[in-house]
Amino acid sequence: MTTDTTASRVHFENVSKFYGDVLGVNRVNLSIPPGITGLVGPNGSGKTTLMNMMVGLIQPSRGRISVLGITPGQPEELFRKVGYASQYDAFPPGLTGYQFIESYLRVHGFSAREAEAMAWKAIERVGLVEPAKRKVAGYSKGMRQRIRLAQALAHEPAVMVLDEPLNGLDPMARAEAIDLFRELADGGLHVIVSSHILHEVDLISDQVVLINGGYIVAEGDIGDVRDEMEEEHPVQVLVRCDRPSLLASKVFEQDHVVEARILDKGQGLLVRTRDADKFHLVLNDIVMETGIAVEAVAPADADVNAVYQYLIGSNGGKL
Amino acid sequence: MSDLTATTVPGARAGLPWGQWWSQLRAIVRLELRKGFRRSFGLLLLALMPPFIAAMHMIKAVRDTSDIAGATQVFAGLIYQAFTLRIVIFLACVLIFGNLIRRETLDRSLHYYFLSPVRRELLVVAKYVTGLIVSFGLFGTTTVLAFVLTYLPYDSTAVSQFLFHGPGLGHLASYLLVTFLACLGYGAVFLFFGFFFKSPAMPALVVFGWEGIHFLLPPLLKEISVIHYLQSLCPVPVSEGPLAMLSDAPAPWVSIVGLCALAVVLVAVSAWKIRRMEITYEEA
Ligand SMILES: Nc1ncnc2c1ncn2[C@@H]1O[C@H](COP(=O)(O)OP(=O)(O)O)[C@@H](O)[C@H]1O
Ligand SMILES: [Mg+2]
């Protein structure tokens, strides 16, 4: 690779991380360009591990990482360029939202006046001006999520790393956060956003990285990834319900459904579909229409398809 | 959009960015003071104890208000060395310095520092400096207060004679120096142990025991204790009882340089440890 791309990308080169004997991530190779990148995988798949390594909170057991050409071992350079909102929903005690942002800007080395201006600008961006003078301890989950977002972007970094930033936001705040990511990305930033729900980030991402069990399963343009996975491997979905034959007749009307098989004991239906997202939508409609009692919907394969199904399934995130 | 950043980016002058480090150190100290020590009732209680003992002694002193020499002995032995130095300042250092890093792993906020463009070594130094400011601020005051209370009930002309024409103020200055060096030394010890033990209680107990039996130790072993050097700087010698192993007290400059060197080494090792520290918050 040229130094040119190194200087504008986030690079993982054969990176592995073991926590003792526990695998965090294995043999990760990534080169992330600017724009919004969705890092998607179920809980425990290694998203936080990857992100924490990117910013030096933990060190890789093997391999190399660089962010815009800077290694995580150079905090003085790295954190002028990088803002990180971790998944830890924790704050230094006793501070107001404003003090929280302002204090760490001072730690950056900004003067009192600069820090004040930048803190208010960041607080405004996440829409927390009104509660900014109150103690963070009294914030709602969504407010805490947003004040951490403000903390990550207050020093105007070129790379934003956000670990599950949409978690705990109500739909309104979520839409605002997404608009903010878009705005930042359009300004040429890297915005790397993790989520355990694919459909939460797929529409806003310029590229996605799918991770499962510590391995990168797929990466690239979201459309390509989705097409490739679905064209080649219809996914199986197991639906536990009453009246499976009624459900089977209904789902067969859908052209993305390849197969629908009633389970031996009649306690459910096994569906193969090329478009799991659409299937889930249709399933909802059918349930509304017929009143079929659905007990559970789950991916049925043990392989990569199942993972992908899990990832894209509209129920995937509800653990 | 990063024009603000540009104004403060280090390295405008050649060499190390001392100006940058200095302002970061001040910012960390400010933040630490803001969030860490405002409601430490334990510390306040500890700080109030020596003046309290001194006040108790006042009651006894009323009987003979001319015995300044007796008061000096009581302050030197009971109030300062036995109580303030060996118990109060010691425990305070465990509380303050043992928790500098630990408290933040427990409340899961250490990563905010690790995500700032600050050298981790600087973070350790700044936290240590905060500990020094808090501990010396508190226990320097305590030392002065206890000193004043001890002599308060005595005949005022005799006391002013002792203070301004005798060794009195010199004593106080020495006690303040010892208090400062105690914070420096014990502070560094417990900052250091914070990187090797999950809880400061165990190492604190061991060090407490070691420092406690110090007077029984042979000369060579005495030299590996903090109290040995602090004691030698105390202005009024105190008898350690019939079991004590006698040894030559180190020269004052040896004690001062020795304690400073100990602090530098322990803080340096801590700074080296924190470079490899990982944020998992798992074992917390
Ligand atoms: N501190 C740790 N100690 C041991 N195992 C860990 C630790 N942190 C993460 N893991 C393990 O590493 C794997 C990846 O975890 P993580 O990166 O937190 O996943 P995600 O963020 O996608 O939920 C999981 O199996 C998890 O149990
Ligand atoms: Mg995670």
Q: What is the pLDDT of residues B45-75, one digit of tens each?
A: 999 999 998 888 887 766 677 788 888 888 8
Which has the closest alpha carbon to B120: B280, B279, B273, B283? B273
- Whats the size of chain A, residue-wise? 319
Report the pLDDT value the prediction gives residue B38, as an integer from 0 to 100.
65
H/E element, A85: strand A82-85
Of the listed ranges A26-35, A97-106, A295-304, B130-139, the least confidently predicted one is A295-304
Atom 7, ligand 1: residue with shortest CA distance: A19
Residue A130: pLDDT over 50: yes
Tell me the mean pLDDT in the region B140-155: 90
Q: Nearest by CB to A88, which of B2, B9, B111?
A: B111
Residues of chain B neighbouring A94 (CB-CB closer than 8 A): 34-35, 38
Mutant choice from A49, A61, A76 vs B, greatest count of B C-beta within 10 A: A76
Q: Nearest by CB to B111, which of A86, A106, A155?
A: A86
Q: Rounded to a whole number, what is the distance in Å from the CA of A108 to chain B's nearest CA?
A: 6
- Chain A residues in contact with chain B using a Cβ-Cβ cutoff of 8 Å: 19, 52, 55-59, 75-80, 82-84, 86, 88, 90-95, 99, 103-104, 106-111, 114, 117-118, 151, 155-156, 158, 187
What is the band of A125 on the pLDDT scale with cuts at 50, 70, 90?
A: very high
What six digits make up the tokens of A65?
A: 């990482």
Atom 27, ligand 1: residue with shortest CA distance: A44
User: Is the Cβ atom of A146 under 6 angstroms away from ligand 1?
Assistant: no
Distance B283 CA to ligand 1 centre (A): 13
Tell me the mean pLDDT in the region B70-94: 89
- Whats the size of chain B, residue-wise? 284
Distance A46 CA to ligand 1 centre (A): 6
Residues of chain B neighbouring A55 (CB-CB closer than 8 A): 114-115
Atom 13, ligand 1: residue with shortest CA distance: A24
Atom 9, ligand 1: residue with shortest CA distance: A24
Report the pLDDT value the prediction gives residue B1, as an integer from 0 to 100.
40
Q: What is the mean pLDDT of chain A?
A: 86
Atom 10, ligand 1: residue with shortest CA distance: A24
Report the pLDDT value the prediction gives residue B81, as an integer from 0 to 100.
87
- Map residue A219 onto helix, strand or coil: strand
Is A75's CB within 8 Å of B120's CB? Answer: yes
Report the pLDDT value the prediction gives residue B159, as an integer from 0 to 100.
87
Q: Measured between alpha carbons, how far is B46 from B51 in angstroms, rounded to an integer? A: 10
User: Is the Cβ atom of B2 under 6 angstroms away from ligand 1?
Assistant: no
What number does the ligand 1 atom closest to the CA of A42 have? 22
Say yes or no: ipTM exceeds 0.90: no
What number does the ligand 1 atom closest to the CA of A23 have? 12
Q: Nearest by CB to B8, which of A57, A110, A187?
A: A110
Report the pLDDT value the prediction gives residue B61, as an integer from 0 to 100.
67
Q: Nearest by CB to B117, which of A58, A75, A99?
A: A75
Q: What is the pTM of this model?
A: 0.82
Query: A235 forms bridges with which residues in the sheet?
Result: A273
